[in-house]
Amino acid sequence: MSEKEKVLNMFKSSENPLRPGDIAKETGIESKEVSKFIKELREEGKVYSPKRCYYALK
């Protein structure tokens, strides 16, 4: 499983919006990398930001 898939799975397993830092702690992936993956997922239309600095699945 790629790191990007791990980030996506975190969103799938959470009922609440997540912050990049929380995902980084849970997965062990660097915060910068998590933010990069979230940006890619937003561009793909899979993730959105319901409020500042929080992200959730569409």
Name every residue whose Cβ is closer than 8 Å to that of residue 4 and which is 6 or more positions away in sequence. Answer: 37, 40, 41
Angle between helices 20-27 and 31-43 (to 10 degrees): 120
Domains of the chain from N-terminus onward: 3-57 (1.10.10.10)
Contact 19, 8 (CB under 8 A): no
**What confidence tens digit (pLDDT) does each residue in 9-56 have?**
999 999 999 999 999 999 999 999 999 999 999 999 999 999 999 999
pTM value? 0.92
Taking each continuous run of H as one helix and of E as one strand, the counts in the chain are 3, 2
